[in-house]
Structure 1
Amino acid sequence: MEAKEDASVSLHHTDSNDVVTKEINIPNDSYNLAYTIYFILGTGFLLPWNVFITAVDYFNYLYPDRSVDRIFAVVYQSVSLLCLLLIIFGFRKFRAYVRINVGFGLYLVALVVVPLMDLFYNKGRSGLHDGFYVTVGVVGLSGVANVLVQGGVIGSVAELPRRYMQAVVSGTSASGVLVSFMRIFTKAVFPQDIHGLRNSAILYFIVAILFMTLCFCLYNVVRQLPVVKHHNKLRNEQKLNQEEFSSYTSIWNVIQTIKWYGFGITLIYIVTLSIFPGSVTEDVHSAVLKDWYAILLITCYNVFDLIGKSLTAVYLLDNTNIALGACFARFLFYPLYLGCLHGPQIFRTEIPVASLTSLLGITTGYFASVLMILAPKTVQLQCSETAGILMVLFLTLGLVIGSSLSWFWVL
């Protein structure tokens, strides 16, 4: 990556009249510091969710009669969707830095509850349903925090050059890779009894708590970097009258402009979440790999999701029609996975399933990254934050629908 910003991608750039705002003397992103911080922030705001899902062995032991993966997913994504709607239509007047800092605080509260509850209440005992309800509650609290942080970060970075959105979305995949490798490590090191599961889960949550603290500090650093301050100043200079910008009419106009990008990303995550992680972790089996199978499949997905999102730094597809066509083509994953579950034995073996899961990951990562990067650049600069938050809304809608559809695999 070049440290110096490319003026052609930093121009927030087009409106209906194809007006271009030219910008010169853009500050350097020294040592790619802003890019690196935004990558870390992208990793951070999805880390708590990945920790809850990765500790599934621990939660399944505590609550054996519950479908933990699916319940967590539906609660987390439904709460996120509701809170996003509230922010877009009611609370957007609170500045992004306020929402983000509050969100990191809520993340820390949610993450601290689980190890404390294990220490003072569960103590490794199975079947304590009150503990399950508390856990589901903090998963919901993490959903609130996610909206505040993710919506705020993506909304803010939508006003910056494309490379910073690419950094954030790549970071979201790095979160999954980090936790997957942590899970492999803990499974290899700790015994697979209740003591090992407890130690593994507590390690996940301690790492996440430390990472959230780091993200809180780094976010307040990146706001002061010259390149970020420069683009914020540019945004403020071009900003429309606040009442006009905040009106429902303005929001509707942005939706009309980015609707196909939003529709595409919704389709991407409907397909992905209806298959992953529920079907991958619960419905496929290996006599050779046994309980390692699901862990390795999740790792495959996360690694290839990161590869897909990283590829947009090398080649960014600018053709919206091709990207949307690819989103529809991904519905082919349904019959392919059905073949892996119920088809001939050759399709139900490890290599076909792992290959298909990797393909699911790389296509999710690449096309989601393309749409997230392009959408905010189709509107005026002063509407870029709104476009970024709305893309998070479309993404979350796909996650909610996909999480709900995942139940059909067990019907």
Structure 2
Amino acid sequence: SANLYFIVSIVVMVICIVFYNMAHRLPVIKYYNELKIQVVNEEKEEKGVMAGVIWKSTLSEIVGRVKWYGLGILIIYVVTLCIFPGYITEDVHSQILKDWYPILLITGYNVFDLVGKSLTALYFIENAKVAVGASFARLLFLPLFLGCLHGPEFFRTEIPVTVLTCLLGLTNGYLTSVLMILAPKTVQFQHAETAGIVIVLFLVVGLTAGSVVSWFWVI
């Protein structure tokens, strides 16, 4: 029911807030916070307190270093939101699964998205060019899913759509994690947090652009 849905969501949010506020007590977090403070203090001793012009120059340099990672993430979410969930819920149908079809596709996407995010613990792409290139290669999902609408009869059946949806989720989760991890490593340690914020801004732009473009699929 709707009440159960919101109750579960609220419980999960509360748990996340509690864990977030407890995270700073972990030894690894304390270590990196202390390391950051030390590096920042050393930088202040060398360069003095950053004035507005210097900070703008530093920010510009950070953006320049992470822009390709950011564009990769932007493309990831434009492609994903072009297809999911609008296309999945509105454009594909199954005579066998009926109303369960979009539910199963959405479940499959989310499960494989989680698997993709977790895969970085087992295998991680260190090569930035490969990671960014793979993000742009996801544009191939657009003609493939279009083929599931207007292509040969087999492409319009449940199996190809399900496989593509799961691959969409898997690559979305994995490549997002990889690029989010790689981007802050391209700048000095004390600027890693700023680089992360810049990457998140690219992500937000991707989410917005993808949501707008997705209307073309639904319409």
TM-score for the superposition, normalised by structure 1: 0.50
State the shift of 1:209 in Å.
1.4
Residue 86 of structure 2 contacts residue 218 of structure 2 at CA under 8 Å; is this kept in 1?
no
**Cα distance between partner residues in 2 of 1:244 and 1:293:** 57
Per-residue CA deviations over 1:225-269 (Å, capped at 9, x if unaligned) read: 222112101101111445359822222111011111111111111
Deviation >3 Å, runs of 4+:
240-246
Which residue in 2 is equivalent to 1:384? Answer: 192
Per-residue CA deviations over 1:338-387 (Å, capped at 9, x if unaligned) read: 11112222111111100110111111111111101111111111101101
Which residue in 1 is equivalent to 2:217? Answer: 409
Which residue in 1 is equivalent to 2:207? Answer: 399
Return the letter of the residue paired with 2:184: P
Which residue in 2 is equivalent to 1:243? Answer: 50
Residue 308 of structure 1 contacts residue 361 of structure 1 at CA under 8 Å; is this kept in 2?
yes
DSSP 3-state at the match of 1:247:
helix
**Cα distance between partner residues in 2 of 1:293 and 1:393:** 34
Which residue in 2 is equivalent to 1:45? Answer: none
State the shift of 1:332 in Å.
1.0
Which residue in 2 is equivalent to 1:274? Answer: 82
Which residue in 2 is equivalent to 1:353? Answer: 161
DSSP 3-state at the match of 1:368:
helix
1:119-158 correspondence to structure 2 within 5 Å: none
CA root-mean-square deviation = 1.5
Which residue in 1 is equivalent to 2:71? Answer: 263
**Cα distance between partner residues in 1 of 2:126 and 2:27:** 29
**Cα distance between partner residues in 2 of 1:227 and 1:307:** 25
**Cα distance between partner residues in 1 of 2:198 and 2:110:** 25
TM-score for the superposition, normalised by structure 2: 0.92
Q: Percent identity?
A: 59
Between Structure 1 and Structure 2, which shows a larger proportion of helix residues? 2
1:291-310 correspondence to structure 2 within 5 Å: 291-310=99-118
Return the letter of the residue paired with 1:377: K
Per-residue CA deviations over 1:11-49 (Å, capped at 9, x if unaligned) read: xxxxxxxxxxxxxxxxxxxxxxxxxxxxxxxxxxxxxxx
- Structure 2: which 5+ residue stretches go unaligned? none
Return the letter of the residue paired with 1:404: V
1:229 paired with 2:37, answer no
* Alignment size in residue pairs: 212
Relative CO higher for 1 or 2, CA cutoff 8 Å, sep ≥ 6? 2
Which residue in 1 is equivalent to 2:4? Answer: 203
1:60-71 correspondence to structure 2 within 5 Å: none
Residue 244 of structure 1 contacts residue 250 of structure 1 at CA under 8 Å; is this kept in 2?
no
Residue 270 of structure 1 contacts residue 399 of structure 1 at CA under 8 Å; is this kept in 2?
yes
**Cα distance between partner residues in 2 of 1:318 and 1:375:** 11
